[in-house]
Structure 1
Amino acid sequence: SRLQIVCWTVLVISAYLVILFIRFLNAATITDPFNITIDWHLWALLGLSASSAVGAPVIASAKAAKEPAPLQQITADGPRIDTSRYPAPVTKAAAAFSRTEAEVAATGSGVLYGKAAPADARFTDIFQGDELNNAMYVDVHKTQMFLFTVIAIVGYGALILNMFLTTTNPASLGLPAVSDGLVAILAVSQATFLAGTGVTNTPT
């Protein structure tokens, strides 16, 4: 969600500044260089990106307050659950990432899986789960949002480039309109991401 809002912000602001620069160069024929057309769909799109960037940390903070299931569990009748078949979350994460249970417990936060240092971060983390129970698997909700975001940003960037290459009248330069379909697709994508992130996959 942070990557998404950074990409949209960089793309939109850079395009806006280039348009503004061109309009100022033609100030002799343009009375108000700051009067740049911005379609409301673009604001809606940026708002959707901001909602997931704000919502995801809120969901993460709630998960950080939860306690993962203990290493050993006792059933109501007394016998211990077979932890070889149903390993506790900390045990499962430690085995998956070749770490000790103490390291996993120390670097995690609640049911969230954590790494020891920023240097341990990898690009593939974007596509994996955030919890002790699913950090070793591909997260479908995060992956679909990443793919839709890439498609939308590349497509909108192509619209901006085409506008600069084909527009001959500087006064008509403005940020390209965003279609209703694109906003709808991204809205569903954001909602799916937040709904999926909101589900706790780790036993507590």
Structure 2
Amino acid sequence: MSNAFDIGARLLYRDALLLVIDKPAGLPVHPGPRGGETLTDHLDALRFGLPRRPETAHRLDRDTSGCLALGRHAKALARLGKLFSGSGVDKTYWAIVEGGPAEEAGRIDLPLARRSDDPRSWWMKADPAGDPSLTHWRVLGRAGGRTWLELKPVTGRTHQLRVHCAASGWPILGDAIYGGAPRGSALHLHARTLSIPLYPKRDAITVTAPPPPHIAEAVAPLAAQAAISRAPS
């Protein structure tokens, strides 16, 4: 990324309260202890006439791509915050995992806690004494020792999907923290869809982000195999 990065070209949805952008993989959302470029550096370009820049309503990992919701002002952020802190927002992710589950659908109900007491550490672990964490999953395709999964987190713990997949025996492809991939590998986790019931008397706002090139390339053979499997014999 650089200052030439065009965040406006990644805008997926806009109204008076909400923006949804397609966050690129590799760009942190917030400044960290090591400094460097973050999404925050680009948010002034999304003011669209308002006096203050929008702010993120939830989190996405640096290496995760896809739908990220922004509140355009304080009241919008408060409303979105309530939705995201509860179970009001329907979130759908795509992941390519190594190996894969034997079943076609299921759930992972596994509490999570921080690995370290260091407040700067975001690494997590499965821990019976941790915070309740629930993920629903469904197989979208299988081929070549990999599986394409649809993941729906019910809770929103840090690194939840990454830890849940790794603890189940099928780590997300490219996960250098929980899956043993080489450092610098491309994480194959994409926030595919957000469905946000922002306005009480209207349908939920549903926004979908296209997969980035590294995920689209990995999905292609899995989607082709799934199509063959579904074809009538």
Give your verdict on TM over 0.5: no
User: Where on the TM-score scale, by shorter chain, does this alignment land: which range?
Assistant: under 0.3
Q: Say which one has the larger Rg.
A: 1
Report the TM-score when normalising by structure 1.
Answer: 0.24
Report the TM-score when normalising by structure 2.
Answer: 0.22
Structure showing the higher strand proportion among its residues? 2
Structure possessing the higher relative contact order (Cα contacts under 8 Å, 6 or more residues apart): 1
